[in-house]
Structure 1
């Protein structure tokens, strides 16, 4: 499921520059479309926080995943701005709902196995993002944008079909599950949410604007531009597959501190690099640091004392994914005036803040037994 979701999102990245010409819009309008995508996701995420305690994460994930496979063709087929806008909102809602459900299910698997697997799960997401980004530009050039979207839909359906039959059926309806979802009172969950937010703002900037940055400010062609998110996703995937062992060895807090510093250096260098391939290399380095920030934050969210996993996950995903889904639209408005090189340099400060706040994610280690056991 993580692989399919990442593949859909990664395949969306090389389609973004084409919207400018196909819909005959500017960067500001494109930013509004991306904002619509984000708003759709942010509406769906709290809704999943209500649905999951009632229906279980497995059932919710199955339905959202199936529908999500058709999101990209729906957007690409729209002939004008007025039809593309609601399609973007729906696409975002499907991606966001699937994300909450699959992360909640992953927390249940961690608890059942009594060891961390969240980083590896997100590793599959990054592997999907790498495949989608790397193949996207090439496939679009060879087959066209709509044919590319259909290929993405078919491959995603195959992955979802395989995964759907093997999902863990962990959660029975919980006591009080039909009570409306209330905002948690524990302040720590909101700090964890800010950690996720400060990580996902740079991730969203890379997803939505790195290709355009390379094309407009560094003179890359569309195929080369597609490798920006691909390189970022590739290094994230490698580090995420190693991340559970790293976290089990050094602990969540220390891993988070070092990860924030590495990512900050990568973003700073990406903004300063004068050529496309240097930018791509710097974004790949940033991916090494960003790789395990979100998995640690999500594990911490699902293991908050006195808070149901679905509720904690809903808060942190809603805050966090506003960074990857909503913030890039504002980055677009700013970037058209300042250039995106400045944006990437400024975003490195957000990653330094994560290093300072790492201690609030200590509950991420609740998924594994104590050292020496």
Structure 2
């Protein structure tokens, strides 16, 4: 029991660490842009480097975890992400910044997948739906990192000493917790041959889960990039109060994730996906249609709360899709779904920008709300696909799994 509590706490700290590192560099982009004299158009292209690295690296991270084990990949990727930060302070051209951002994005792509694989291992051992709670750790870590970056910028702390402090602290935490990260035996031999990538690509349930994660990423990424601008230009808020709109969205997401275990036990994974996406869509449509400031905040709070559980639950479901008879497996499936999700972060904000250019920001926000509701049919279809894929009791090559009280546990034969 004590070892299980240690494993849960350790994985939670790993998620917090990921959020802290991620939240520490993004708020310093204005300082970096000024240092390299990047115009907004050039900066927008340069920033795509992080998304490209994220998406590409996530596509093969699951295979690394299956072969080497999650703890080794968590350690390597966390060290890589932390060590990339001081290099940011040394760039002098947009090209250099873009290349470092590819490095950072690739590090986080592997880090994200490996920590989620470790989380699935813990969830299976303790038989509790803790994935949303772990993702709450990431949300609060990101908030702490961004507040630290804002404080450093306000105090005039230089980029290099600031990033150096974050790096040293991150490396210390990584070294301190890595031995407690749970590890499943790497897949070998027949286990690895039992789930080739080609076969995985032919499974509709994985594509459907990936599409849900993709839509969730579009909603999250678009709100991060456009919510403050919408509040200022369409609702007449000041820049300070407009920035709070995304803060409301983020805090609502974090709080709901923190309560995710209780919610998932009550409503089950697919019920949450359907209900949450409806809440998110209604919230964004309300913010877009009703020109009242407090309803803008309320709408974004509904959106954050509604979409907050989608990504962690989808990863939990993806990990259960190919669970082997010994209770292990699912690493590559998590990587596959994650890579699809990150492509939503890559293409979502530019698409929304194009919609806003052709119409206006209010229409674009409403458009995001409609997109959020696409999770409803995708969730219903994925639930049906999962039921169709469940093998019969006599199938020796597959292991049936079902969801009881929101948990992925072995089905009884």
Provide TM-score, normalisation by structure 1. 0.86
The separation in 1 between residues aligned to 2:135 and 2:73, in whole angstroms, is: 19
Aligned partner of residue 128 in structure 2, secondary structure: coil
> Structure 1 CA distance, aligned partners of 2:104 and 2:289?
34
Give the Cα–Cα distance (whole angstroms) in 2 for the partners of residues 249 and 214 of structure 1. Answer: 35
Q: Name the count of aligned residue pairs.
A: 370
**1:166 aligns to what?**
180
Instruction: For residues 235-270 of structure 1, give each alpha carbon's deviation from its aligned partner in whole angstroms, at most 9, with x where no partner exists.
Output: 222111111111111111111111111212333344
Q: Is the 8 A contact 1:239 1:292 kept in 2?
A: yes
Matching residue within 178, 189, 207 for 1:190 = 207
Match of 1:256 in 2: 273
Deviation at 1:89, TM superposition (A): 0.8
Structure 1 portions without partners, runs of 5+: none
Q: Which has the higher contact order (CA 8 A, sep 6+)?
A: 1
Q: Output the CA distance in 2 between the equivalents of 1:337 and 1:149.
A: 40
CA deviation after TM superposition for structure 1 residue 311, in Å:
1.6
Pairing partner for 1:321 from 328, 342, 364: 342
Contact 2:228 / 2:243 at 8 angstroms: preserved in 1? yes
Q: Give the Cα–Cα distance (whole angstroms) in 1 for the partners of residues 403 and 80 of structure 2.
A: 33
Alpha-carbon contact 2:323-2:330 (below 8 Å) kept: no
Contact 1:260 1:289 in 2 (8 A): yes
Indicate which of 117, 122, 135 corresponds to 1:122.
Answer: 135
Name which of 287, 291, 298 aligns with 2:315: 298
Q: 1:365 to 1:324 in 2, by over 3 A?
A: farther
Pairing partner for 1:112 from 92, 100, 125: 125
- Counterpart-to-counterpart distance in 2, 1:225 and 1:79: 32
Root mean square deviation, CA, Å? 3.1
Aligned to 1:29, which of 42, 45, 60? 42
User: How do 1:224-239 and structure 2 match up within 5 A?
Assistant: 227-239=244-256
Separation in 2, partners of 1:162, 1:107: 21
Give 1:206's match in structure 2, choosing from 201, 215, 223.
223
Query: 1:157 aligned to 2:171?
Result: yes
SS of the aligned residue for 1:169 comes to coil
Question: Which SS does the other structure have where 1:365 is aligned?
Answer: strand
Cα distance, 1:177–1:83 mapped onto 2, change above 3 Å: farther
For the pair shown, the structure with the greater C-alpha radius of gyration is: 2
1:133–1:230: 8 Å Cα contact kept in structure 2? no
Q: Which residue of 2 aligns with 1:40?
A: 53
Instruction: Tell me how far 1:198 sits from its aligned partner.
Output: 0.3
1:347 to 2:368 alignment: yes
| Cα separation, partners in 2 of 1:134 and 1:345, compared to 1, 3 Å | farther
More off after superposition, 317-326 vs 304-313: 304-313
> How far apart, in 2, do the equivalents of 1:158 and 1:340 lie?
44
Name the SS of the counterpart of 1:303 in structure 2. helix
Unmatched runs of 5 consecutive residues or more in structure 2: 1-13, 387-400
User: Aligned to 1:99, which of 74, 87, 112?
Assistant: 112
Pair 280,365 (structure 1): closer, same or farther in 2 beyond 3 Å: same
* 8 Å contact from structure 1 (residues 31, 333) kept in 2: no
Alpha-carbon deviations, 1:62-92, whole Å to 9, x = none? Answer: 1101211233443344222111111111110
Once the two structures are overlaid, the 10-residue window that deviates more, 76-85 or 292-301, is 76-85
Query: Mean Cα displacement is larger for which, 229-238 or 91-100?
Result: 229-238
> Are the equivalent residues in 2 in contact too, given 1:16–1:208 (CA < 8 A)?
no
Structure 2 CA distance for aligned equivalents of residues 243 and 83 of structure 1:
40
Against the structure 1 CA distance between its residues 98 and 338, is the aligned structure 2 distance closer, same or farther, given a 3 Å change threshold?
A: farther
The alpha-carbon distance between structure 1 residues 134 and 40, as it changes in their structure 2 partners (threshold 3 A), is same
d(CA) in 1 for partners of 2:173, 2:95: 32
Change (3 A) 1:301 1:369: closer
The TM-score normalised by the length of structure 2 is 0.78
